[in-house]
Amino acid sequence: RKEVEQDPGPFNVPEGATVAFNCTYSNSASQSFFWYRQDCRKEPKLLMSVYSSGNEDGRFTAQLNRASQYISLLIRDSKLSDSATYLCVVNGAGGFKTIFGAGTRLFVKA
């Protein structure tokens, strides 16, 4: 089992749609969680951190379920500019091991 697993994608959605990305992690001692966005041939950029209580930033909502070892990202009212690859990232416990998921590609169409 991979340490961090994401939906394989790609997701193809129309503008205005709501899309959800899922991610599971295997190390129950993991301490911190993030969603990154990566545009084609560019560096990954932090989209948002994921907190236990869940958090929202505009059209983006992140959730963490520690019991199920599950992280989600919800994008509402999708824009063409949301087209990118979304990476789930998990920081290990007590060390410097950061695990990046393989990413889920999103295409938003007009």
Please state whether 66 falls in left (phi above 0), alpha (psi between -120 and 50) or beta. Answer: alpha
Interface stretch with other proteins, choices 16-24, 29-37, 54-62, 68-76 (CB under 8 A):
29-37
Give the strand pairing for 60-65 and 70-75. antiparallel
Closest distance of CB 15 from other proteins, Å: 25
Q: Which of 34, 63, 73, 82 binds other proteins (CB under 8 A)?
A: 34
What the block records as the tokens of 1 is: 């089992």
Nearer to other proteins, 79 or 97 (CB): 97
Residue 106 sits in the site that holds other proteins (CB under 8 A): no
Residues 80, 42: Cα–Cα separation, whole Å: 17
Residue 36 sits in the site that holds other proteins (CB under 8 A): yes
Residues 72, 22: Cα–Cα separation, whole Å: 5
Chain residues that interact with other proteins, rule: CB under 8 A: 31-32, 34, 36, 41-46, 49, 87, 89, 91-92, 94-98, 100-103
